[in-house]
Amino acid sequence: MLSPSPLLIPFPEMPEIAGVTKRVAKAHYKEWDRCDLTYIELDEGTSVAGVTTRNICCSSEVELCRDNLTGGSARALVVNAGNSNAFTGYRGREAVEAITRQVAAHIGCAENEIFVSSTGVIGVPLPKDKAETGLRSAFEAPICSWQDVADTIGTTDTFAKGAKASAIVDGKRVEIVGVIKGSGMIAPDMATMLGYIFTDASVEPAFLQQLLSEANGSTFNCITVDSDTSTSDTILAFATSKAGNSRLTSFDDAGADAFAAALHDVCRQLAHLVVRDGEGAQKFIEINVTGAVSDDSARRIGLAIANSPLVKTAIAGEDANWGRVVMAVGKAGEPADRDKLSISFGVTQVAHNGLPIDGYDETPVAAHLKGQEISIGVDIGLGSGCATVWTCDLTHGYISINADYRS
C-alpha cells in the first residue's frame, strides 16, 4: 500500500447529482480485496461529451467510447480498475461488448448509451467472467458515495480525488462534481487519466462537447508527470437535465458563461490533483510562460520545461540550477531568442534579457525550492502568447513505484 502523497488535498464534501446512481463492487481483476468495478446509472435524457487519448495504441474501450459519443446520450458508466484491456485484440473488444450488452439489457436501453473505461496493466485481456460477475454484484450493491467511486477507479493513486463547483443558470443553481484517477503515465495529449464529471444542468450535447473541449485545452492538456500518454485516457462529462434550467445550447443562453466557468474550474481542480499525486512526487510545480509568439507556442515551451528530467530532478534536489530551464526552452523547437529570455523562481528574477541578474543572490531561490509549491516564470520576449503548465518533481519514488508496478 502506497503512502499518501505529501501534496494531497482532502476529498471534499460533494453534493449528490439528481439522475446519477452510484455503486461499486468487487470483480477481483487482481489479487486484492478491494472494490475495482464502478457502475453508475444515469437517468434517461442525460447528455454526454468526452475527450480521449491520442495514443494510437488505444484500448477498445476508448474506440467504443468515441463511437458512442456521436449519439450524445448516456445511460450508464462502467469503470474497471486493475486491467487496462489495451493491446488485447479481439478478446479485449469482446469483453467490452459483453459489458455493454449486459448493462444495456439490465437498464433496457441502447448499447451505444453505455460507456466503459478500464485502467491498469496493458496487454492482459479483461476477463469476461469476472466482469459479468462483478456487474451482477454491482447491480445489487448499495448506493455509494463519491469518495467510494474515487477510491474504486484508482490504481497507483495514493488519495481519492474529487472536485466541485456550482453556477447560476437561468435563475437555477446547478451543481457540477468530478472524480478522477491518475498518478503515472501522465502527459498532455488528452486525456492523460480517467475522469468523470457530472452535472444536473440541462445542456445540449454539442454545446457540452464544446465546453469540455475548451476546458480540456488549458487544464488536462497542460499537465504532465512523466511525459507518457496512456492508452486508455478518457474524460467524460454527463449532464442529467434535472436542475430545471432552460437547456443550454450556446453562449447566447442565460448562464452559459457561468456554467462554462464552473466546468473549467472543476477541470482545473481535477488536473491539479493528478499532478499532486504524481508517482513519487514531493513538489507541485507551476510553470508560467509569457512573451511567446502564440499561446500554443507558450504551452509547448512550458511542457518542454515540465518534461525535462534535468529540471525535475534539480527541483527534487532543491537545486537552483536555472540553466536547465534555459536548456529546456532552447530544445522546445519553438521560436525563442536567447538574448531576450528572462527567468524567475517564485518572486525572484534570476535572469533578464539573456543575462544573469546583476548581483544575483541565490538565497531566496534556494528558500523557495525548499517548499512544496514551486513557481517558475519564463518570459520569451517575442510576443504576447502565454500559457501555464503544471508538473511535479522526479524522485526515487517514481522509479520504485514503476519498477514494481506489476507485482
The residues annotated as belonging to the active site are 192
167-225 per-position pLDDT tens digit: 999 999 999 999 999 765 445 544 347 999 999 999 999 999 999 999 999 999 899 87
Closest CA to 375 of 364, 390, 361: 390
Domain boundary among 253, 276, 299: 276
Closest CA to 117 of 166, 69, 169, 72: 69
- 185 inside domain: yes
- 10 inside domain: no
Whether 255 and 315 share a structural domain: no
Whether 241 and 328 share a structural domain: no
Provide the mean pLDDT of the chain. 91
Whether 264 and 289 share a structural domain: no
- 11 inside domain: no
3-state secondary structure the chain: CCCCCCCCCCCCCCCCCCCEEEEEECCCCCCCCCCCEEEEEEEEEEEEEEEECCCCCCCHHHHHHHHHHCCCEEEEEEEEEEECCCCCHHHHHHHHHHHHHHHHHHHCCCHHHEEEEEEEECCCCCCHHHHHHHHHHHHHCCCCCHHHHHHHHCCCCCCCEEEEEEEEECCEEEEEEEEEECCCCCCCCCCCCEEEEEECCCECHHHHHHHHHHHHHCCHHHECCCCCCCCCCEEEEEECCCCCCCCECCCCCCCHHHHHHHHHHHHHHHHHHHHHCCCCCCCEEEEEEEEECCHHHHHHHHHHHHCCHHHHHHHHCCCCCCHHHHHHHHHCCCCCCHHHCEEEECCEEEEECCEECCCCCCHHHHHHHCCCEEEEEEECCCCCEEEEEEEECCCHHHHHHHHCCCC
Question: Given this model, what pLDDT does residue 75 score?
Answer: 98
Phi then psi for residue 236, to 5 deg, are: -120, 145
349-387 per-position pLDDT tens digit: 999 999 999 999 999 999 999 999 999 999 999 999 999
| Number of separate domains in the chain | 2
Question: Given this model, what pLDDT does residue 393 score?
Answer: 94
Domain boundary among 254, 276, 298: 276
Question: Given this model, what pLDDT does residue 404 score?
Answer: 63
Whether 380 and 232 share a structural domain: no
Question: Given this model, what pLDDT does residue 156 score?
Answer: 80
Lowest-confidence pick of 67-81, 153-167, 355-369, 392-406 = 392-406
Whether 356 and 398 share a structural domain: yes
- 14 inside domain: no
Residue 314 scores a pLDDT above 90: yes
Q: Considering the chain, what percentage of its residues have pLDDT values greater than 70?
A: 91
| Whether 350 contacts 249, CB under 8 Å | no
- 46 inside domain: yes
Residues 6+ apart with CB under 8 A from 117: 61, 65, 77, 78, 79, 80, 194, 232, 234, 236
| Whether 190 contacts 54, CB under 8 Å | yes
- 12 inside domain: no
Rounded Cα gap, residues 70 and 110, in angstroms:
13
Place of cell 475522469: 195
Domain boundary among 276, 294, 319: 276
User: In the predicted model, what is the mean pLDDT of residues 148-161?
Assistant: 94
Provide the grid cell at 46: 442525460
Closest CA to 53 of 236, 185, 191: 191
Q: What is the CATH number of the domain that holds 197?
A: 3.60.70.12
Is the omega angle on the peptide bond into residue 191 within 30 degrees of 0, that is, cis?
A: yes
Q: What is the CATH number of the domain that holds 358?
A: 3.10.20.340
Residue-range definition of the domain harbouring residue 145: 20-276
Rounded Cα gap, residues 38 and 79, in angstroms:
5
Whether 299 and 241 share a structural domain: no
Lowest-confidence pick of 52-66, 104-118, 147-161 = 52-66
CA distances from 3 to 40, 146, 181, 224, 277 (A): 28, 21, 16, 21, 11
| Whether 239 contacts 201, CB under 8 Å | yes
One-letter amino acid of 152? T
Whether 113 and 133 share a structural domain: yes
Question: Given this model, what pLDDT does residue 192 score?
Answer: 44
Whether 247 and 289 share a structural domain: no
| Whether 158 contacts 8, CB under 8 Å | yes
4-14 per-position pLDDT tens digit: 999 999 999 99
Question: Given this model, what pLDDT does residue 407 score?
Answer: 54
Whether 115 and 219 share a structural domain: yes
Closest CA to 182 of 146, 148, 223: 223
Whether 317 and 173 share a structural domain: no
Place of cell 508496478: 405
- 5 inside domain: no
Given pLDDT bands bounded at 50, 70 and 90, which one contains residue 230? Answer: very low
Residue 406 scores a pLDDT above 80: no
Whether 320 and 226 share a structural domain: no
Rounded Cα gap, residues 220 and 370, in angstroms:
27
Residue 70 scores a pLDDT above 70: yes
- 392 inside domain: yes
Q: Considering the chain, what percentage of its residues have pLDDT values greater than 90?
A: 78
Rounded Cα gap, residues 272 and 285, in angstroms:
10
Provide the grid cell at 361: 543572490
99-153 per-position pLDDT tens digit: 999 999 999 999 999 999 998 877 888 999 999 999 999 999 999 999 999 999 9
Whether 303 and 384 share a structural domain: yes
